[in-house]
Chain A
Amino acid sequence: MVIFLQNLVNALQWGSFYALIALGYSMVYSILMLFNFAHGDIFMVGAYIGFGVSVGLIGLAHSGLLPMPHWLILVLTILVSMFLTSFVGMIVERVGYRPLRNAPRASAAITGLMIGIILETGNLILLGARRVSFPSLIETATYDVGGVILTNKKIMIVGVSLLLSLALHQFVRRTKWGMAMRAMAFDSVVVPLMGVPLNTMAALTFAIGSALAAAAGILFGVAYPVLDPYMGIVFGWKAFVAAILGGRGSILGATLAGFLLGFTEIFVAMVFPSTLRDLIAYSIILLILTFRPHGFFGEPYSARLRL
């Protein structure tokens, strides 16, 4: 029982990363009908931006210019990096995807893969082929709850990812921008007839998705403080699976599917040799998708009249 609970805690943390990245995938897909295959690399860029921001803030704090406690540095790192990374997303949309809005979907997919390669090699050129270690911003505190080991980092990671998912959900439900996004997901052709500028909405969608990926990147850096330029690839693909599993356009779905992926991986590794982890875990996911091809909360795609 204790082992089960311990794995549950670990799975929650692991699933947090997937959930946050999957949200960006799912948003872009449902609103703009395109898979942003560079999204995993935006997660990587976000982690690196977080690295840069936190190192800068620590330097600032230690030099005595602007003394602040480490928890504040972490909060600021998350916020500033989300802000900065949102511009990376907007640039990707503007330069990479906007010119292809009416092109065949395959062109956008290929472009996405290319943007990913550019971000990875760009990172190599800038920082060289070495890993960087994310500064430890908070001391790890360990709590023993009936044999289950919790750490303050794990609690924070799960908490922040749930909070951000919830915030996004509220944004999409309650604001006019969110309303426009839901309308675009249903039928984007007539959205301009409502006076809604499509380009602004596309940029906003990418900005939010990228900011969430940046948050995931920093949380990942807090838990596993080694960053490398290719860290986004596998995470990107797995989050893509979570977005599909959640169902098109479903925020709740993407969050749940992200956590489910975390659970599946961790629990498979608990029972089977860890080298077989992905094989078995993703076979299970494949099986679920066989019976629910539209994911948990997706609707069967209906062909609507397009202009």
Chain B
Amino acid sequence: MLLSVDNLQVSYDRIKALHGLSFRIDEGEIVCIIGANGAGKSTTLRAISRLVPVEAGTKMTFMGRDLLKYPADKVVSELGISHVPEGRRLFDNLTVQENLMLATFARKDGKAIGKDLERVFSIFPRLSERQHQKAGTMSGGEQQMLAVGRAFMSGRKIMLLDEPSMGLAPLLMKSVFDSLKEINREGTTILVVEQNARMALQFAGRGYVLENGRLVLEGASERLLGDPQVKKAYLGG
């Protein structure tokens, strides 16, 4: 077991956003959490990345280590948990290359950094062409590639992705998910949260359904895709 989350509770201004989530992810898996807008998907990822405080009673371990003992930057640099945030949040004022290199800020394995950069450019050749361009000047699809590439550079045990399909045309969406599959095959575990339930379930091996801060269903993707409740609520009948 790679990541284990037990009784995850988060509140914003005393309003409970997550009411005790528990789930597990094994090494090498692709897992998705689907749910409507406001269900708590982003909050779940932010809690794992330690960007939002969690409440007493929450337990999270990563490779047997207590996740709550690590501040946000160490979660990335010491545990290897990378996070592609909602809306990509690139540094528009930095070039493509600077965005990628910034993600290696705390890494000390100089040689491996160079190799990883080459790998990112081979997965996303467009980024290589645009290395010296400011991130803010690229198209939405290219920006999503950069967001994934940046996460790839920062740490690679597990990648948390927040709505990677957002704002992308279907064809681009597919190509981004294909690249993620490739990254997964090379050993990176993936946890993706998505509103686009069909896309996410086709991509992931296993899924959870999140409703109003609670996990209400879980199972293999094929099973969820065939579930009448899921069909009705998330797959458009």
Report whether A195 and B106 are in contact in the complex, using a CB–CB cutoff of 8 Å. Answer: yes
Residues of A58-100 at the interface with B, using a CB-CB cut-off of 8 Å, are none
Which residue on B lies nearest to A307, using beta carbons?
A: B51
Point out the residue from B52, B101, B154 that lies within 8 Å of A193, measured CB to CB.
B154
Main secondary structure of the interface of A (DSSP, over half): helix
* Interface segment, one of B16-24, B76-84, B170-178: B76-84
Report whether A192 and B76 are in contact in the complex, using a CB–CB cutoff of 8 Å. Answer: yes
**In the complex, which residues of chain B have a beta carbon less than 8 angstroms from the beta carbon of A190?**
85, 89
Given A183-B91, A307-B52, decide whether A176 and B102 contact each other with a Cβ distance below 8 A. yes
Given A186-B93, A187-B91, A307-B51, decide whether A194 and B105 contact each other with a Cβ distance below 8 A. yes
B94: min CB distance to chain A, Å: 6
Q: How many residues of B contact A (CB 8 A)?
A: 32
Q: Does A288 reach chain B (CB closer than 8 Å)?
A: no
Contact string against B for A residues 182-217, beta-carbon threshold 8 Å, 1 for contact and 0 otherwise: 110111011011111110000000000000000000
Which residue on A lies nearest to B51, using beta carbons?
A: A307
Of the listed residues B76, B89, B106, the one surrounded by the most CB atoms of chain A closer than 10 A to its CB is B89
Which residue on B lies nearest to A183, using beta carbons?
A: B91
Report whether B72 and A193 are in contact in the complex, using a CB–CB cutoff of 8 Å. Answer: yes
Residues of A9-26 at the interface with B, using a CB-CB cut-off of 8 Å, are none
Report whether A193 and B85 are in contact in the complex, using a CB–CB cutoff of 8 Å. Answer: yes
Q: Does B130 reach chain A (CB closer than 8 Å)?
A: no
Residues of B69-103 at the interface with A, using a CB-CB cut-off of 8 Å, are 71-74, 76-77, 82-83, 85, 87, 89, 91-94, 98, 101-103
Report whether B94 and A195 are in contact in the complex, using a CB–CB cutoff of 8 Å. Answer: no
Given A195-B76, A195-B107, decide whether A182 and B91 contact each other with a Cβ distance below 8 A. yes
Report whether A187 and B89 are in contact in the complex, using a CB–CB cutoff of 8 Å. Answer: yes
Report whether B51 and A197 are in contact in the complex, using a CB–CB cutoff of 8 Å. Answer: no
Report whether A179 and B94 are in contact in the complex, using a CB–CB cutoff of 8 Å. Answer: yes
Q: Does B150 reach chain A (CB closer than 8 Å)?
A: yes
Which residue on B lies nearest to A200, using beta carbons?
A: B73
**In the complex, which residues of chain A have a beta carbon less than 8 angstroms from the beta carbon of B155?**
195
Which residue on B lies nearest to A196, using beta carbons?
A: B105
**In the complex, which residues of chain B have a beta carbon less than 8 angstroms from the beta carbon of A189?**
51, 89
**In the complex, which residues of chain A have a beta carbon less than 8 angstroms from the beta carbon of B77?**
195
**In the complex, which residues of chain A have a beta carbon less than 8 angstroms from the beta carbon of B206?**
none
Contact string against B for A residues 210-232, beta-carbon threshold 8 Å, 1 for contact and 0 otherwise: 00000000000000000000000
Complex formed: what's the CA distance from A218 to B135 in Å? 41
Q: Does B165 reach chain A (CB closer than 8 Å)?
A: no
Report whether B73 and A183 are in contact in the complex, using a CB–CB cutoff of 8 Å. Answer: no
Which residue on A lies nearest to B153, using beta carbons?
A: A194
Report whether A180 and B89 are in contact in the complex, using a CB–CB cutoff of 8 Å. Answer: no
Q: Does A145 reach chain B (CB closer than 8 Å)?
A: no
Contact string against A for B residues 103-130, beta-carbon threshold 8 Å, 1 for contact and 0 otherwise: 1111100000000000000000000000
**In the complex, which residues of chain B have a beta carbon less than 8 angstroms from the beta carbon of A185?**
93
Which residue on B lies nearest to A249, using beta carbons?
A: B93
Report whether A192 and B94 are in contact in the complex, using a CB–CB cutoff of 8 Å. Answer: no
**In the complex, which residues of chain A have a beta carbon less than 8 angstroms from the beta carbon of B154?**
193-195
Report whether A307 and B105 are in contact in the complex, using a CB–CB cutoff of 8 Å. Answer: no
Complex formed: what's the CA distance from A173 to B51 in Å? 28
**In the complex, which residues of chain B have a beta carbon less than 8 angstroms from the beta carbon of A186?**
91-94
Complex formed: what's the CA distance from A197 to B72 in Å? 8
Complex formed: what's the CA distance from A305 to B155 in Å? 25
Residues of B29-57 at the interface with A, using a CB-CB cut-off of 8 Å, are 46, 49-52
Report whether B73 and A192 are in contact in the complex, using a CB–CB cutoff of 8 Å. Answer: yes
Complex formed: what's the CA distance from A193 to B155 in Å? 10
Contact string against A for B residues 142-155, beta-carbon threshold 8 Å, 1 for contact and 0 otherwise: 00000000110011
**In the complex, which residues of chain A have a beta carbon less than 8 angstroms from the beta carbon of B83?**
193
**In the complex, which residues of chain A have a beta carbon less than 8 angstroms from the beta carbon of B101?**
176, 179
Point out the residue from B89, B91, B98, B105 that lies within 8 Å of A195, measured CB to CB.
B105
Residues of A285-307 at the interface with B, using a CB-CB cut-off of 8 Å, are 305, 307
Report whether A180 and B85 are in contact in the complex, using a CB–CB cutoff of 8 Å. Answer: no
Complex formed: what's the CA distance from A305 to B46 in Å? 15
Chain A contact residues, CB within 8 Å of chain B: 176, 179-180, 182-183, 185-187, 189-190, 192-198, 305, 307
Chain B contact residues, CB within 8 Å of chain A: 46, 49-52, 71-74, 76-77, 82-83, 85, 87, 89, 91-94, 98, 101-107, 150-151, 154-155
* Shortest beta-carbon contacts, A-B, top 10: A192-B72, A195-B77, A195-B106, A195-B76, A190-B89, A197-B73, A192-B73, A183-B91, A196-B105, A194-B103
Besides A195-B77, A196-B73, A198-B72, 12 new A-B residue pairs in contact (Cβ under 8 A), listed by A number = A179-B101, A179-B102, A183-B93, A186-B91, A186-B93, A189-B89, A190-B85, A193-B49, A194-B150, A195-B104, A197-B71, A307-B51
